[in-house]
Each structure stands twice: as C-alpha cells, then as structure tokens.
Amino acid sequence: MRFTDFTTFDLVLLAQGLGVNIALFLVTSLIGLMVGISWAIVRFYRVPLLSEVITFVSELLKNSPVLVQLFLVFFGLPGLFHIRVTPATAATITLSANTAAFIYVIAVSAIESIGRDQLEAARVFGLSRWQVLRHVVAPQAAAFAIGPLIALLVNQLQVTSLISVIGVVDLTKIGNILNMRTLKPFIVWTAVGLLYYAAAKLVALLGSRFENRLRAHSAWRGL
C-alpha cells in the first residue's frame, strides 16, 4: 500500500462521514422518540400483557451492549430468517430500538413524577384519560424529561461511531481509511474526535436552548 500525505479532499471526506453520522442520529432519534413515547403511553394506560412485554424488551435493550445488538441485527437476522439486511438498515434498526428503550425509561419516570392528586383532581373535573394525558401529564412530563433526554441524545450521537464495524462509511470509517493511508494516527483521530465533540456540543447547545424556552413557557407567572 502506498502511503501519502493529507490532501484538501480529505476535509470533504471527513465532512461527508460526519454527515452520515448526523443523518443517522436524526433519523434514529426521531424513530426512537416516537416508539419510546408510545411505549410509555401503553404503560400509562396499563395495557395488560403488552406493558410487561415492553418493559422486558426495554430492559434487554438498555442492559446489553449496542455493538452486540448491532451484530445480532446485521448478522443474526439474515441467518435466522434468510433475509438481506444492509448495513444502513441494521444501523437504523439497532440505534432506533436502543434509543427507544432509554426514552421509554425517561418518559415513564417523567410521568410517574407527577403527583397522583393532580390526576385524581383532573378526573373529578370530568376529564377523560386521554385529556388527562394531553393537558395534565404531557406538559409537566416534558419539562421534567427534557434534561435527561438531551444527555441521552448527546450519548446516542457518540454511539453512532459504532456503525463503522459493519461497513457503514461514517466519520470513524473515514478516519480509519485516512489513518491507514497517511500513518499519522494522532492527527487523524484528533481531527475525528474534535468533529464528534463539535457535533455533540451543538446538540447540547440546541437542547439547552429548547429546555430554557420550554421551562420559561411552562413556568407559573402568578395571578
């Protein structure tokens, strides 16, 4: 293999790799958010059997390594069901499910933080269970959950670096290619680390701004 120095095109490659990570992060976060909240709503309504199944699946997902889950989806499912799973599909399924499991825990904790007296008072005033969920539970639960949710999203962005092991050409994969081509690991991995850091800081900053606006909007302003 011929070793060469860095070129200006390497910056384009790094940007494209980071774009793959960010795109996957946005898609899986959205899917995970919808699935996790749906699971929490099922728990709120105490649907028989389904609630127990969701809790069990959530425990499995959040207490096992993401890398193992990724291998299971990418290598295990095709071998078991004789189907073709692309690296991008495997990464999307795995990270969406893993994100959903943690969002489910956060959402359940947020819902359970609301006093039972508020729920009972809402029902006394004739609100249906859906109205209680929408007008009483959801606003307060969102304010409670936003902080842990931001921390989770920052972590999940870092987790996307694992997808390179199944062949997805992301930032980590590009870094590995540049490292083998230039034999300058300190420079390459410093650059890769700084790009992940910048992306994570951006997520944290946007999340913090949203949290401040949400808390200001929901704050009680008196009579």
Tens-digit pLDDT profile for residues 175-196 = 999 999 999 999 999 999 999 9
Domain range for residue 133?
Answer: 9-218
| Nearest partner of 195 among 178, 182, 181, 210, judged by Cα | 178
Below-70 pLDDT ranges, the chain: 1-2, 125, 216-223
Is residue 175 assigned to a domain?
yes
- pLDDT mean across residues, the chain: 88
Cα–Cα distance between 107 and 12 in angstroms, integer? Answer: 39
CATH of the domain at 105: 1.10.3720.10
pLDDT of residue 121: 75
Q: Model pTM?
A: 0.87
Number of domains in the chain: 1
Alpha-carbon 48 to chain mean position: 27
Side chain identity at residue 171, one-letter code: L
- Position 223 in a domain: no
4 in a structural domain? no
Residue 128 belongs to a domain: yes
Q: For residue 87, with 0-12 CB atoms within 10 Å meaning exposed, 13-18 middle and 19 or more buried, which class applies?
A: middle
3-state SS assignment for residue 8: coil
Tell me, what's the pLDDT at 221? 44
Tell me whether residue 2 is in a domain.
no
Domain presence at residue 3: no
Q: Is residue 188 part of a domain?
A: yes
Closest CA to 139 of 42, 55, 220, 209: 220
